[in-house]
Amino acid sequence: MPARYSPATRAVMIALLPSTLFVSFDAQRFLIVLLVAVGLAIAALPFLAPQARPIWRYSIWSCAIVLGLSVLLSHSDSGAKSNQPGAPRIVKRDSAAPGIVYWANNNTIDAFNPATGTQKTLLTLPAGSEISDLALSPDGNSFALVYAPATNDTEGGIQLAVLPRAGGTPRQLLSHAAAGGDLGHVVWSPDGRSIFVMATPPKSTLSSLLRVSLDGAAPLKIADNAGEPACTPDGRTLIFVHTDPNAGNAQLWRANLDGSDAKPLSNATYTDIVSPAVSPDGKTLAFSAPYVPPVQGRANPRLPLFGPARASAHGGNWEVWTLPLSGGNARVRTAIGEFRPRIAWSPAGDQIAINADLGLYVIDLTQNKDSLFDIYTGTGIVWTR
């Protein structure tokens, strides 16, 4: 003869089962609430329904059913899940981060050793100069600088120059007037014979890419509506950010070094992208872009109504992403919430340095964690041996 439950017992059963529907919206929060409800039900049933003899058997099966449905509704291999590491740890030094990190600080180029935590000024330009970006040549002997020299000449403006790493006077490669606007992010070609730089005309938000030769030849325009150049180590591919003037979004593109055969790397678009950088082995692209975390929980393809919203790369705080150049989806690698951070790969390619408002971050990609050096870092970033 089937067991008969009191009205109180049936009420608890009816109350528990719908609660599983809420689990899929926020798995952690509602699972905790659900477990508390089950516990209270088990404790209360002997008092509310003493005539319900199979109470312990009912309690065990009730917990199993509720938890089983919770897992079913919240679990899926295809759902969106944040893979960000935790908050960065604040450090003074990190022995696992060898090499030297360079950045510009007004009119100086500073050198920082993450392994020892020591910082010093490497080069100093005349007072009044302002360096906005820098890149180190493939042979490590020269810096390419985007800077405003200390001058009263109204035609001076921001220019592109080369400065020996050992010191000396910057040699101008491209003037502000010849560029037709302000100069921005700069990168060397892998053969060290030319430099790619972005130029933005006055009163415009759309830039173009220029290739400037060290031999004094006229600059060559590579692409319109493009900026933030990066090169693959093999010297075959130019990576840049393409901006759609109509849609107002940004996309990662690739092309030959002369600008031919330009096409998107993927279908993903962002509100903005800065500082793309290719790993030393040429297999991975890192870049900075806005990020909106997905809703906690995981979607079920058979029950899409109960799944979280898809992650969006529009708006929100900026994070560092990595993207396989062989194809695939971009992955968020930080949880720093900074604004337009600049990045550089470590010489070994297992870490990424980030120049941001709060200081210098070092991301350990193998352990999926990051450290924060609480120091002022200025502008631009280079990491070398």
CATH code at position 374: 2.120.10.30
Q: CB neighbours of 216 closer than 8 A, spacing ≥ 6?
A: none
Provide the greatest CA pair distance for the chain. Answer: 101
* 1 part of a folded domain: no
pLDDT of residue 70: 58
Do 248 and 366 have their domain in common? Answer: yes
CA distance 157 to 241: 25
End position of a domain, from candidates 74, 108, 125: 74
Beta strands in 9-117 (DSSP E): 89-91, 100-105, 108-113
* 2 part of a folded domain: no
Do 108 and 162 have their domain in common? Answer: yes
Q: Is pLDDT above 90 for 218?
A: yes
Q: Is pLDDT above 80 for 122?
A: yes
Do 260 and 146 have their domain in common? Answer: yes
Q: Is pLDDT above 60 for 309?
A: no
* 114 part of a folded domain: yes
Do 187 and 315 have their domain in common? Answer: yes
In the 8-state DSSP scheme, what is residue 87? Answer: P
Q: Is pLDDT above 70 for 13?
A: no
pLDDT of residue 90: 94
Do 65 and 101 have their domain in common? Answer: no
pLDDT of residue 85: 61
* 222 part of a folded domain: yes
pLDDT digits (tens, 9 = 90+) for 225-275: 999 999 999 999 999 999 999 888 999 999 999 999 999 999 999 999 999
* 263 part of a folded domain: yes
pLDDT of residue 25: 46
What does pLDDT average to over the chain? 83
Which range has highest mean pLDDT (26-35, 43-52, 234-243)? 234-243
* 84 part of a folded domain: no
CA distance 284 to 252: 13
pLDDT digits (tens, 9 = 90+) for 316-343: 589 999 999 999 999 999 999 999 999 9
The residue range of the domain holding 251 is: 89-384
* 307 part of a folded domain: yes
Which carries the bigger pLDDT value, residue 89 or residue 60? 89
pLDDT of residue 341: 97
Q: Is pLDDT above 50 for 281?
A: yes
Q: For 282, what's the count of Cα atoms within 13 Å in the CB-facing half-sphere?
A: 9
Do 118 and 153 have their domain in common? Answer: yes
What phi and psi values does residue 163 have, to the nearest 5 degrees? -130, 125
pLDDT of residue 165: 97
Kindly tell me the sign of the dihedral angle through the C-alpha atoms of 105, 108, 114, 116.
negative
pLDDT of residue 313: 46
End position of a domain, from candidates 29, 45, 74: 74
Do 184 and 327 have their domain in common? Answer: yes
Do 330 and 370 have their domain in common? Answer: yes
* 217 part of a folded domain: yes
Do 149 and 289 have their domain in common? Answer: yes
pLDDT of residue 41: 66
Do 63 and 126 have their domain in common? Answer: no
End position of a domain, from candidates 49, 74, 99: 74
Percent of the chain with pLDDT over 90: 64
Tell me which H or E stretch contains 179. Answer: helix 176-179
Do 224 and 341 have their domain in common? Answer: yes
Do 62 and 97 have their domain in common? Answer: no
Q: Is pLDDT above 50 for 372?
A: yes
Structural domains of the chain, count = 2
Which position has the token pair 């010093």? Answer: 120
**Residue 156 in 3-state DSSP?**
coil
Q: Is the CB of residue 245 less than 8 Å from the CB of residue 235? A: no
pLDDT digits (tens, 9 = 90+) for 156-194: 689 999 999 999 999 999 999 999 999 999 999 999 999
CA distance 369 to 13: 44
pLDDT of residue 66: 62
Which position has the token pair 């089937």? Answer: 2
Q: Is the CB of residue 90 less than 8 Å from the CB of residue 83? A: no
pLDDT of residue 24: 41
Quick one: average pLDDT of 50-65? Answer: 59
Which carries the bigger pLDDT value, residue 238 or residue 8? 238
pLDDT of residue 205: 86
